[in-house]
Amino acid sequence: MPLDFISVKKQIQQSAAEAPAQIKHLDILRRHAGELLAAYSGKQAELRAKVEQAAAEDSFLRSAKPTEEALNASFPLPKAPAQATIIAYRSLAAYANLEIIRTGQVDGGEMPKLEQAVKSAVTWTSDLGAQVVLDNRQAVAVVGLKQPGIVYQTDGPDNPRLRLVKLSSTNHALPGEEVEFTLRLDNIGDQEIGNVTIVDNLATRLEYVANSAQSTLPASFSAVPNGAGSSVLRWEIKEPLSPGAGGVLQFTARVR
């Protein structure tokens, strides 16, 4: 059915016209609720008696009795930890809304878009680039594999392999503007990988935006100065990655 834009416009205008009255009504309700909380903040016994009386009169009534705590009691928030456990990420923007980022699977039709986003990330990469630790051992990039991104593995009999794809929202930004980065990590080997750590050493021209780090995997995150005027970002994945498993890391940096 075709969309009636005139009707939609009228509905929006009507909602806008009614908004001030609705806001005023909500303010009245909030004030009234605050007055009730203040009036009964120290009258738990009276409230408990009323609840018990109402429950006795109606056997189907389900309610909670007041506790000994004042209704308008408040408590300070706990201090934020130096290291935060993160298990979330923002919705994917257009540059990262690709099959390989969503699921770890490569879609050939998306390769041009993927290659562009990878090249954009390279323009912001420092000389050190990303570093990967697998099973408490420093991993090295494997040369010659036909895989998107970079495949890392460690020396040894098991040779676990982890693929890391890093994208950025743009390859050019002015000082003061922000660039978003998305990293997809996948265990492309045939064995479980424990103690996975991803380290990203930001270039001097980038400043990490506080509290912007996100992850779809349970991870401890830290951002510390790198000695070059920027930051080292570190994600320590808390659970082992089984073969075929992966996740997404994201953060935002501001251009200097």
In tens, the pLDDT along 1-36 reads 444 556 656 677 777 777 788 888 888 888 888 787
User: 16: how many CB neighbours lie within 10 A of its CB?
Assistant: 9
Q: How far is CA 84 from CA 31, 90, 225, in A?
A: 36, 16, 17
CA-based R_g, the chain, Å = 27
Give the SS3 label for residue 29.
helix
Q: What angle do CA 131, 135, 141 make, to 5 degrees?
A: 35
In a domain, 71, yes or no: no
- Which residue range forms the structural domain that includes residue 141? 84-255
pLDDT band at 208 (very low <50, low <70, confident <90, very high): very high
In a domain, 247, yes or no: yes
Q: Cα–Cα distance between 152 and 167 in angstroms, integer? A: 17
Whether residues 42 and 158 fall in one domain: no
Tokens of 49: 């008696």
Quick one: DSSP state of residue 110? Answer: G
Whether residues 151 and 206 fall in one domain: yes
Give the number of domains in the chain: 2
Q: What is this structure's pTM? A: 0.66
Q: Look at residue 222 in the predicted model and tell me its pLDDT.
A: 96
Whether residues 122 and 237 fall in one domain: yes
In a domain, 116, yes or no: yes
Whether residues 51 and 10 fall in one domain: yes
- Specify the amino acid at residue 225: P
Residue 82 has pLDDT above 50, yes or no: no
Nearest to 184 by CA among 87, 99, 83, 93: 99
Q: Cα–Cα distance between 165 and 110 in angstroms, integer? A: 14
- Tens digits of per-residue pLDDT, 93-143? 999 999 999 999 999 999 999 999 999 999 998 877 789 999 999 999 988
DSSP 72-84: T---PPPPPPSSE
User: 80: how many CB neighbours lie within 10 A of its CB?
Assistant: 8
Residue 83 has pLDDT above 60, yes or no: no
pLDDT band at 207 (very low <50, low <70, confident <90, very high): very high
Nearest to 169 by CA among 223, 208, 113: 113
Tokens of 34: 């605050």
| Look-up of token digits 């005023």 | 24
Tokens of 251: 């953060």
Cβ 172 vs Cβ 166: under 8 Å:
no
In a domain, 63, yes or no: no
Whether residues 148 and 21 fall in one domain: no
How many secondary structure helices (H) and strands (E) does the chain include?
4, 12
Q: What are phi and psi of 169, to 5 degrees?
A: -70, -20
Cβ 114 vs Cβ 100: under 8 Å:
yes
Cβ 255 vs Cβ 173: under 8 Å:
yes
- Specify the amino acid at residue 82: A
pLDDT band at 69 (very low <50, low <70, confident <90, very high): low
